[in-house]
A and B are shown apart, each in its own frame.
Chain A
Amino acid sequence: MKHLIFLVLILSQLIFSQNLLAKDGDQIRYLPVQDSGRIKPFDTFAKETLELVYGKKTYKPKEDSPAVEAHWVVLTWMLSPESWIKRPLFEVKHHEILEKLKLPIDKKHFTGDELFTSENFSNLMQELQNKRDTKEKLTPYYQAIQRIENQFFVFREMASGNLLKVYPLPTQVSWLSVAELPAEVQPAFMEISKAVATYLGMKTDPAATPEQLKEAAVNLDKFILSFEDLARKSDATKYAASTKVKTEVMYNDFHPFRWAYICYLLASLILIFIWIRETKNGMALAWFFVSIGLALHVFGFAFRIYLAERPPVSNMYETVVWASFGAVLFAIILELVYKFRVILLGGSLMGLFALIIADSAPAILDPSLQPLEAVLRSNYWLIVHVMTITISYAAFLLAFGLGDLGLIYFVLDENKHTDKIQKITTGVYRSMQIGVAFLAPGIILGGIWADYSWGRFWGWDPKETWALIALLGYIIVLHSRLIGWLKNFGMLAAGVITFNLVIMAWYGVNFVLGAGLHSYGFGAGGIEYVSVFVGLHLLFVAYSYIIHANRKSIDKKHT
């Protein structure tokens, strides 16, 4: 019990060292901004904008230079654009495009001068326009050109003050941008600009004392607050919608899902130790970390639900986070029933794995809070069917992780580990059953809601169709097990192989097929990584099969 209290102390230290309380000079991050259909804090706006232009949430031109926070970077685009156009700010990764622009392909970031002033740039834009006129789907090449166009547009509009919409009016829906501010409000924003310049100048000035710096920061905060007062006076009701900005900045700083996977990582390490050493001690500690992880997971969802005012399953990022939650949850339930310890291990490993993927690929799995499409918005139940289907993917993810673990024992020595293999196989079988029990009703619910909102129960939409194919796959596996076609090895291998159908339904339909009614989830990228992942697993199954088959024939000779 003592070490538990100690751990809680350490953990709370870790969390609060992030400093959830606002520092001096931070007020700018809380400035409410209207962008892509909602009100968000300037902090979020700046992070998303920098991500689009630079590819990261902080600006770090060289390895050894300090990282500059997004809000300072994006704000200074407006205050001194000419200095930014000469810095390597714009991320371009597509080789063919770099060659066309006659730029070195070993670099990732380029200055505005390098990119936008050449004739080749206007040629690229023309090429994109021609493609758009044909109304054909944009290939990754054109999507990459489109990104450059966006980067150019966003930078230019930010620099000219048109992009940053900060001032509501009672007469119109659209807020006024900095460039459109009424004459009597303009001085207030000028003061902010001056205070920012002073503060940032002082930050880089080695002669400045901490007191001076603090004073500049406090001064800046004061001007921001008085600007906010003016904006609130202009339209108090619209500004009231910005009460959530504080929570959102806190969410941006806190990274609940990152803390959750750190907990799952610790739990996994402990469980691996327990499982290999076959000890009974330490389970309490493992349970502790898994529970804290799950609590943080729920906490993160609560944030997103509160901020976006909708269930958190509207894009790939959110479904991955949701499924990792499901995998841990199902593992906990099965572990409580069977007490095999390995199921909890599989669950925390899969929770860890899915959360790391969600956290590390923001270009593919977009973590920003986006408003919902009309169809999903007006139908709460459509969201429920998505949640039911993706939670079934969580169960299959657990089966997949356990399948991998089990196959390791076939590679090691199946005869020495029969008990462990048996336990893992039970876990795989049960996870698959849970998955089917959610997926089948989920698909039917999807049919009912599709009937209700579009008038067709089943329209061969690719997303639904692949969910059905995955269901068929798992039903085939369960039936084959029932009649004894699949033994333990077959079940474990099936846990791994059949998951490819889920990958196709979940990721492949959006990113590989990219067609159909569910087009509101479509993006691009990451195909190469997913293919390698799938390929390696198939190789692993093949390898373990060879070893398993060899061992069987040796065993036969012996008897």
Chain B
Amino acid sequence: MVFKNKIVNKFWRFSSSFQLGIPVMVSIAILTAWGTFVEAEFDAYAAKEMVYYSWMMWTAMGLLVYNLTIVVVDRWPWQLKHYPFITVHAGLIILILGGYVTYKYGLDGQMSVNINGKNNMVSVPETDLVVYATFDGDRYSKVVDREVNFFHSPPSESKPFLLNLGDDKIEIINYAKYARLQNKVKISQDESSGSSIRFQLMNANVKQVEQITQPKKDKTAVFNLGPAKVYLGETPQSETKENEVYLTPIDADKLRYTIFYKDVKSAKRSGFIKIGDVVSTGWMGLELRLLDYLPRAQEEYEVLTMERPTPLTTAAIKIKHKDIERWLALNDIVKLFGTQSAYLLSYQNRRIDLGFDLKLNKFEVQRYQGTMRAMEYASQVEAVSTANSISIEQVISMNEPLKFMGYTIYQASFQEDEQTGEPVASVFSINQDPGRPIKYAGSLIFSLGIVWLFYQRRKRATAI
């Protein structure tokens, strides 16, 4: 194309030129390379936040699409010899646009469902601050729901993030990208708090110290050793037919223990235990020694800020409310007492209601013979939408997703019990991708174009 206006023409020539295209390609290569290093240093989330979805990347991609478009338009009127070239470049433009549609309108989240449990909420990477308020301690109403990206704009003591709740003010005064939580059990004055025990389990092979704390007075805490379990809380009335010991707080210095057996021939045993006492359980010679007992206790955590993420780190914020300053980990909740009302504040990954329940009826893992290495795994699920009164039963396995109500549900991984290695929950990746057909069309056009171009070039002697 040629324009009469000299400046326009010059600009057009530049827009369609390699002088623009090659530097743009070089910058995309450098940016993405940098992204992989960020990912190696930190994690995939950091790489996305810092590089892949940064303004630099948007600019480079924008310029690439611009350059490709002008290059194609510039050849107008197209002749047959231009077609392979146009196909390749148009395919690429469509492919990138498809990616943009996915980014803008797609959903890509995770959901974990316990075996024999169900779930309808999918969690996505975006984070929200949510506050519920109550006047009577009974009914809660949502008063704040704000999207926050502290990774990008972290709050600090001098520049806190402010939540104004009328009478009360909550400040976010710090943010840790990679916080390691260390649990601490503290004596509590609150009448409703539960108890906490520290105990040792030992026999010839095992020697283990554990601490369990009831979240509340009427809740049960459990430690699972695999073949045996230790409970802190109320003792069930009937025999459980499992190797289990129940410890029930009686008063400030003793608990009652009740031991059940999987082996039906042995009857249950019970008695009282104090700090320092040892009880022989009768399962594989295991003995239980009570090391510490706090009748009223509360679990809190301290935060250790790490430079890099590990599987044990999570994001955390530090909140300030009146004279209280404390850390709150991502996807945890804290109760705060204001002047008139009480608040529940949560810093959480956004959870989206799918509009249907996903029930996990069965989960199966096949392992390579004689090892714990997973060979294949599959979830038998049932998706039920009560609103539309439709449901479907299907086995989801690696590469065999379930499509339901516009969502695609993939088998991503599974969670194992730390002690026994038995699977406890299945993890699905759930997505909705309006860009998919565009990307596929782009891929097809691009690939055809490459073959066409290769064929065409073979006839010409460009190599020399």
Contact = CB atoms under 8 A, between A and B. Distances in A.
> Which of A39, A135, A422 is most buried by chain B, counting CB atoms within 10 A of its CB?
A135
A552 interface: no
Interface in A248-296: none
Given A34-B370, A447-B443, A465 B36 contact: yes
> Which of A38, A175, A455 is most buried by chain B, counting CB atoms within 10 A of its CB?
A455
Contact of A448 (B39, B308, B377, B443): B443
Interface stretch (A106-114, A148-156, A469-477, A534-542): A469-477
Interface in A422-437: 422, 425-426, 429-430, 433, 436-437
Query: Across chains A and B, which 3 residue pairs bring their CB atoms closest together, nearest first?
Result: A37-B368, A513-B40, A429-B463
Given A37-B373, A433-B457, A482-B462, A456 B431 contact: yes
A98 interface: no
A38 B370 CA distance: 8
A466 B32 CA distance: 8
Interface stretch (B19-27, B164-172, B264-272, B379-387): B19-27
Contacts of B368: 36-38, 371
Contacts of B463: 425-426, 429-430
A134 interface: yes
Interface residues of B, number: 60
Nearest to B28: A472
Contacts of B430: 455
Given A430-B463, A437-B451, A444-B443, A378 B39 contact: no
Given A136-B308, A444-B447, A515-B39, 6 more contacts: A452-B399, A455-B401, A457-B436, A469-B29, A476-B22, A481-B462
Interface in B386-420: 397-399, 401, 408, 410, 412
Given A378-B397, A513-B40, A34 B369 contact: yes
Contacts of A174: 369-370
Interface string B31-52: 0110111011001100110001
Interface string B423-443: 000000111010010011001
A433 B35 contact: no
A374 interface: yes
Given A374-B377, A460-B52, A476 B25 contact: yes
A138 to B, nearest CB: 11
Nearest to A508: B36
28 contacts: A36-B368, A36-B371, A37-B375, A38-B368, A39-B369, A136-B310, A175-B370, A374-B375, A374-B376, A375-B398, A377-B376, A377-B398, A426-B464, A429-B463, A437-B451, A444-B443, A453-B410, A454-B410, A455-B401, A456-B108, A456-B429, A460-B39, A465-B32, A472-B28, A479-B22, A513-B36, A514-B40, A515-B39
A37 B397 CA distance: 21
A472 B37 CA distance: 18
A504 to B, nearest CB: 8
A483 B462 CA distance: 10
Given A37-B373, A38-B369, A374-B376, A454 B40 contact: no
Interface string B147-187: 00000000000000000000000000000000000000000
Nearest to A437: B454
A511 to B, nearest CB: 11
B399 A453 contact: yes
A437 B32 contact: no
Contacts of A306: none
B18 interface: yes
> Which of A377, A481, A485, A504 is most buried by chain B, counting CB atoms within 10 A of its CB?
A377
Contacts of B338: none
Contacts of A379: 398-399
Nearest to A448: B443
A9 interface: no
Interface residues of A, number: 65
B204 interface: no
B312 interface: yes
Interface of B: 18, 21-22, 25-26, 28-29, 32-33, 35-37, 39-40, 43-44, 47-48, 52, 99, 102, 108, 308, 310-312, 367-371, 373-377, 397-399, 401, 408, 410, 412, 429-431, 433, 436, 439-440, 443, 446-447, 450-451, 454, 457, 462-464
Interface string A197-241: 000000000000000000000000000000000000000000000
Nearest to B23: A476
- The binding surface of chain A is classed by DSSP as helix
Given A173-B369, A377-B375, A465-B32, A441 B450 contact: yes
Nearest to A427: B463
A440 interface: yes
A481 B373 CA distance: 49
A469 B32 contact: yes
Interface of A: 34-39, 134-137, 165, 173-175, 371, 374-375, 377-379, 422, 425-426, 429-430, 433, 436-437, 440-441, 444, 447-448, 451-460, 462, 465-466, 468-469, 472-473, 475-476, 479-483, 485, 504, 509, 512-516
Contacts of B308: 136
A368 to B, nearest CB: 14
Contacts of B43: 515
Given A135-B311, A479-B18, A458 B99 contact: yes
Contacts of B397: 378
B443 A462 contact: no
Nearest to A480: B22
Contacts of B37: 513
A455 B47 contact: no
A378 B378 CA distance: 11
Nearest to B398: A378
Contacts of A469: 29, 32-33
A462 B310 contact: no
A184 B310 CA distance: 51
B26 A476 contact: yes
Given A135-B312, A460-B47, A476-B26, A37 B370 contact: yes
A456 B39 CA distance: 18
Contacts of A454: 410, 412, 429
A56 B99 CA distance: 49
Contacts of B32: 460, 465, 468-469
B25 A472 contact: yes
A38 B464 CA distance: 53
Contacts of A509: 36
Nearest to A517: B44
Contacts of B446: 440, 444
A359 B433 CA distance: 45
Given A37-B371, A379-B398, A455-B108, A513 B39 contact: yes
Contact of A134 (B310, B367, B464): B310
A477 B251 CA distance: 80
A424 to B, nearest CB: 11
Nearest to B22: A476
A440 B367 CA distance: 35
A355 B310 CA distance: 37
A180 to B, nearest CB: 12
Contact of B429 (A429, A436, A455): A455
Contacts of B399: 378-379, 452-453
A447 B433 CA distance: 14
> Which of A137, A426, A468, A469 is most buried by chain B, counting CB atoms within 10 A of its CB?
A469
Contact of A173 (B36, B102, B370): B370
A466 B26 CA distance: 13
Contacts of A456: 108, 429, 431
B405 to A, nearest CB: 15
A174 B367 CA distance: 11
A188 to B, nearest CB: 22
Nearest to B43: A515
A516 B38 CA distance: 12
Contacts of B36: 462, 465-466, 509, 513
Contacts of A514: 40
